[in-house]
Amino acid sequence: MPIDSSTLPVQLTCQSSFYTHIMEQCELSREMATQLERFMRTGEGDAVESLRQLEIMGVGLRERNMEALRQAPVSSADREENHRACLTMEAIQQQMRAISEEMEVLEMRADWHMLEMVVRMRHALDLLSNGFLKLLATPVDAIGEAEAIFAWRRAAEKSYRSAMVHLLQADAHAPSPDLQTSAGMRQVFHLFKRQEIYQLFRAVGLEIGKAGRFLHGIALQFT
């Protein structure tokens, strides 16, 4: 049954309102993940522009949430935790936009590792958004989402390592590039750029893991 905010202490009511704000950041991140997946599957440039516009919206959400947090009557510890959550969601959005722009500039097509990573990432953001939604009604149930994010984070790390191994093995078996030619330089350049895309996906995973820990810590307070 939903929580009646009129029966809650002021501090808890403020926290519940802030969870709604964080959930909005999660939902925006989820939409960005959907657009990123669309770009990776189709190469459509308008998806990249959509990501840029969504990130701008994300900055507005973060500024609104930070202002609400500054005015909220919460403890210093809660304020600091909520502050970190805001910045974590913004970092996720920035990195997704960076992935799309890097790939667009390089005219790089997504490989199956990248597609696997973006689908996994969208699933994790679903879990995160659902977790913050549960904080508004049945907070203890959010523990399940948080623990699922921890499991996702371990799987995401394995996916990243698998992609790196595959990339390096493919490079080891390929003919050595002639660095005196433009084709050889492009081969090396794209190798490093593909590695950079994998690392950006890993960075997103680390930030989602941070958000999962924040969610878990809140939910435990209601056990």
**What whole-number distance in Å separates Cα of residue 198 and Cα of residue 194?**
6
In the chain, pLDDT over 90 holds for what percent of residues? 54
Radius of gyration over every alpha carbon of the chain, rounded to an integer in angstroms: 20
For residue range 8-26, list pLDDT tens digits in order: 333 434 566 778 888 899 9
Fold entry, domain 5-220: Methane Monooxygenase Hydroxylase; Chain G, domain 1 (1.20.58)
SS3 168: helix
**What's the whole-number average pLDDT of the chain?**
83
Q: Which residues contact 219 (CB under 8 A, 6 or more apart)?
A: 131, 134, 135, 139, 140, 141, 142, 143, 146
Q: Where are the domains of the chain?
A: 5-220
Across the range 133-139, mean pLDDT stands at 87
Weakest-pLDDT range from 13-17, 25-29, 61-65, 168-172: 13-17
Mean pLDDT value of segment 141-147: 95
